[in-house]
Amino acid sequence: MLVVRQKQPRRFEEDEVTFLFTLAAQLAGAITHAKASGELTGMEEGLGAPARFLQGLAGAGGVGIGRAVVAYRKADLEAVPERECGDPEVDVALFQDAVGRVEENLRGLKAQLAPDLPSGDLALFDALLLMLGGDTLVTETIGRIRQGEWVQTALRHTIEEHARIFDRMEDPYLRERASDIRHLGRRILMFLQSEQPQQGGYPDNTILVGEALGAVDLADVPAERLLGVVSATGSSSSHVAILARGMGVPAVMGVKDLPVRRIDGREAIIDGYLGRIYVSPAPAVRSEYQRLAGEDRELNQELEALRSEAAETTDGVHVPLYLNTGLISEMSALGISESEGIGLYRTDMPFMVRDRFPAESEQAASYAAVLEAFAPRPVNLRTLDIGGDKPLPYFPVHESNPFLGWRGIRISLDHPEIFLTQIRAMLRADTAFGNLRIMLPMISTVAEVDELLSLIHRARDELLEEGCDIRVPQIGIMVEVPAAVYQIEALARRVDFISIGTNDLTQYLLAVDRNNPMVAELYDEMHPAVLRAIIRVVEGAKVYNRPVSVCGEMAGNPLAAVLLLGMGVESLSMSAGSLLKVKWVIRSFSRARARQLLNSALRMEEARQVRDYLQGVFEDMGLGGLARSGK
């Protein structure tokens, strides 16, 4: 509470009030950060402070107690986190080596440019070399390291301090020197980072934390050491959250007040059900979470017993459960034996982790590995769906509205050579196994489907001419754009199967960016409009007898799965971590009971009511633990 008093009795002016609002808002932000990073711990403990946590969005279920490790952008001095050093002398040596290499590099550059640049411009190099050679920058950094700072943190502090001095200078020429200092800092940092790979720096129970974590950041952590994922941006349907679910680790997304730079190395508790992070938790909180984690483990053991059971309703309807994978194919074997095939293989990851488009033979080899692992069970390989939140480093696309822009098959159609290469690779991979099905994402018009089908036939004809013994697989589309919902009959007529991508469908129906934490509370797959859109798809596809499955994250949500069952969705495809939970749900209801629940849910006007209603039903049946922590 901010209390302001004045000696003279008078009303505060309006501009004074707004000034105080502004001040209070800024102070509140700073205090939240300081609390979260533990800097206020000492002050608060005496006051019996309540358990502190940072609130984000539930990304992937599960709880865990571990240590925060910050993943940050490389070659960016500002992003370097506060970290303590292990052995100061090792860090000092690293630093001196990096400085030596920058000096060498600058001299080399100067010599290289000397014939072409006027000597005035070359003086810049002399100035940089002088700063490096001059004592202060180097000795100050070494001093900080010896006081316990990690080499990169020490460098950041020294550079910031020097740059700030120049920033404040009146003379514009001297002020410009601030950017030279920052430039120099970045160069030293680059050399340091090339010598200090993060691998090996991950403790056993790593909670990976970042401003905007990407799939590649996760791939960097050895799977057995990853305990949780926390991102300042994103929401439950961001690809990082999906990836976390696939790996069976909790995730909290969109933590707006996350003090990323100051959290590194601290003990933390992650609650992926409630979307909370506790930094440097109080002992009582820690022991409560130890208990909950224990109960979660027990629940998982009970789930294990379902592994060999059929996914059948109590009245004997078989609902095949498929696996969503691809983002993690290289990292995990989870879900291979529990699922009846792959309902969604995201082919994007092999494209994202390389520095160029993978060749046809490289792609064919990786698809063959997936087809083989599951044969004879069906595998839906989805064609490339880059764009949106999945950029390719070597194929930059700059758009103000990436989710409404050039993504998915829109890129494939504008670059048929990329699409044809991928289809050829898929068809070639399938020759030995025969379980391939091709799935096309982001369809919004029938013309797109017609054109893609003719490209697929062209790839088939080429391969047949080349003497390959291929067959034409089943081809399906994903319904992810509202336009496809309302043209479902025309689309269904053209293809063999339909799979509903509820992550994007929810985003586009509700006009809520799936990665934007500011509007994440509006993002809800239980929204009555989403439920009705799915029903519309099921009915439309029935006209042409096409099977409908759901492969968005909704299928893996135990509460939602029962509604999908009631709607007559034939199969569900989900992350590995959800398979057994959803199997439990399927085995607990009859189709008729699911229809009843759906009818009740459809009478509700808000997502929250639907959710609370279903949670209540689950609690009554002893299934509550499937959708929250504890049993």
**Which one of Mg ion, ligand PEP, none is in contact with 387 (Cβ closer than 5 to 8 A by kind)?**
none
Beta bridge partners of 231: 210
Distance CA 449, CA 457 (A): 12
**Which one of Mg ion, ligand PEP, none is in contact with 551 (Cβ closer than 5 to 8 A by kind)?**
ligand PEP
Distance CA 533, CA 466 (A): 44
Nearer to ligand PEP, 350 or 501 (CB): 501
**Which one of Mg ion, ligand PEP, none is in contact with 71 (Cβ closer than 5 to 8 A by kind)?**
none
Please, what's the b/e burial string for 230-267 (b: 16 or more CB within 10 A of its CB; e: otherwise)? bbbbbbbbbbbbbbbbbbbbbbbbbbeebbbbbbbbbb
Instruction: For strands 276-279 and 54-55, give the pairing.
Output: antiparallel
Q: Is the dihedral of CA 228, 339, 550, 300 positive or negative?
A: negative
Please, are residues 630 and 62 in contact by the beta-carbon 8 Å criterion?
Answer: no
Binding mask 337-366 for Mg ion (x = CB under 5 A): ------------------------------
**Which one of ligand PEP, Mg ion, none is in contact with 502 (Cβ closer than 5 to 8 A by kind)?**
ligand PEP
Q: Which two tokens mark 222?
A: 């050895």
Contacts of 622 (CB under 8 A, 6+ apart): none
**Which one of ligand PEP, Mg ion, none is in contact with 549 (Cβ closer than 5 to 8 A by kind)?**
none
**Which one of Mg ion, ligand PEP, none is in contact with 346 (Cβ closer than 5 to 8 A by kind)?**
ligand PEP
Which member of 64, 234, 501, 625 binds Mg ion (CB under 5 A)? Answer: 501
- Span near Mg ion by CB under 5 A; candidates 29-37, 249-257, 475-483, 600-608: 475-483
The string of DSSP letters for 108-159 reads HHHHHHTTTS-HHHHHHHHHHHHHHHSHHHHHHHHHHHHTTB-HHHHHHHHH
Binding mask 141-180 for Mg ion (x = CB under 5 A): ----------------------------------------
Q: What single letter denotes the amino acid at residue 542?
A: K
**551 tagged catalytic:** yes
Please, are residues 35 and 14 in contact by the beta-carbon 8 Å criterion?
Answer: no
Residue 376 preceded by cis peptide, ω within 30: yes
Nearer to ligand PEP, 547 or 624 (CB): 547
Shortest reach from residue 240's CB to ligand PEP, in Å: 11
Q: Does 513 bind Mg ion (CB under 5 A)?
A: no
Q: What single letter denotes the amino acid at residue 371?
A: L
**468 tagged catalytic:** no
Please, are residues 238 and 260 in contact by the beta-carbon 8 Å criterion?
Answer: no
Phi and psi for 569 in degrees, rounded to 5? -65, 130
Shortest reach from residue 504's CB to ligand PEP, in Å: 3
**Which one of ligand PEP, Mg ion, none is in contact with 515 (Cβ closer than 5 to 8 A by kind)?**
none
Shortest reach from residue 89's CB to ligand PEP, in Å: 48
Please, what's the b/e burial string for 575-592 (b: 16 or more CB within 10 A of its CB; e: otherwise)? bbbbbbbbbbbbebbebe
Which residues in 261-301 belong to E strands, given as ranges?
267-271, 276-279
Distance CA 332, CA 218 (A): 12
**Which one of Mg ion, ligand PEP, none is in contact with 488 (Cβ closer than 5 to 8 A by kind)?**
none
Shortest reach from residue 555's CB to Mg ion, in Å: 13
Distance CA 236, CA 253 (A): 7
User: Pick the catalytic residue: 33, 85, 162, 239?
Assistant: 239
**Which one of Mg ion, ligand PEP, none is in contact with 82 (Cβ closer than 5 to 8 A by kind)?**
none
Please, are residues 4 and 20 in contact by the beta-carbon 8 Å criterion?
Answer: yes
Q: Which parts of this chain interact with ligand PEP (CB under 6 A)?
A: 242, 344, 346, 385, 480, 501-504, 551-552
Phi and psi for 52 in degrees, rounded to 5? -95, 140
- Span near Mg ion by CB under 5 A; candidates 92-100, 116-124, 328-336, 500-508: 500-508
Nearer to ligand PEP, 428 or 514 (CB): 514
Nearer to ligand PEP, 476 or 501 (CB): 501
Nearer to ligand PEP, 62 or 552 (CB): 552
- Span near Mg ion by CB under 5 A; candidates 311-319, 414-422, 478-486, 517-525: 478-486
Nearer to ligand PEP, 296 or 385 (CB): 385
Distance CA 30, CA 14 (A): 25
For the packed helices 591-602 and 528-543, what is the interaxial angle rounded to 10 degrees? Answer: 130
Supply the DSSP symbol for 419. Answer: H
Shortest reach from residue 621's CB to ligand PEP, in Å: 28
Nearer to Mg ion, 442 or 475 (CB): 442
Binding mask 480-499 for Mg ion (x = CB under 5 A): x-------------------
User: Pick the catalytic residue: 33, 162, 527, 551?
Assistant: 551
**Helix H or strand E encompassing 21:** helix 14-36
Contacts of 579 (CB under 8 A, 6+ apart): 321, 323, 335, 338, 339, 556
Nearer to ligand PEP, 151 or 530 (CB): 530
- Span near Mg ion by CB under 5 A; candidates 31-39, 177-185, 477-485, 568-576: 477-485
Shortest reach from residue 274's CB to ligand PEP, in Å: 23
Q: What single letter denotes the amino acid at residue 435?
A: N
Distance CA 322, CA 547 (A): 14
- Judged by CB under 5 A, the number of residues near Mg ion is 3
Shortest reach from residue 255's CB to Mg ion, in Å: 24
Phi and psi for 570 in degrees, rounded to 5? -80, -35
Shortest reach from residue 477's CB to ligand PEP, in Å: 12
3-state secondary structure of 569: coil
Nearer to ligand PEP, 158 or 324 (CB): 324
Distance CA 57, CA 235 (A): 6
Nearer to ligand PEP, 217 or 480 (CB): 480
Shortest reach from residue 238's CB to ligand PEP, in Å: 9
Shortest reach from residue 478's CB to ligand PEP, in Å: 7
Nearer to Mg ion, 264 or 504 (CB): 504
Which member of 504, 513, 553, 570 binds Mg ion (CB under 5 A)? Answer: 504
Shortest reach from residue 389's CB to ligand PEP, in Å: 9
| Position closest to Mg ion via CB | 504
Q: Which two tokens mark 576?
A: 């590995």
Q: What single letter denotes the amino acid at residue 622?
A: G
Distance CA 483, CA 201 (A): 47
Active site residues per annotation: 239, 551
Residues of the shown chain interacting with Mg ion in the complex, contacts defined by CB under 5 A:
480, 501, 504
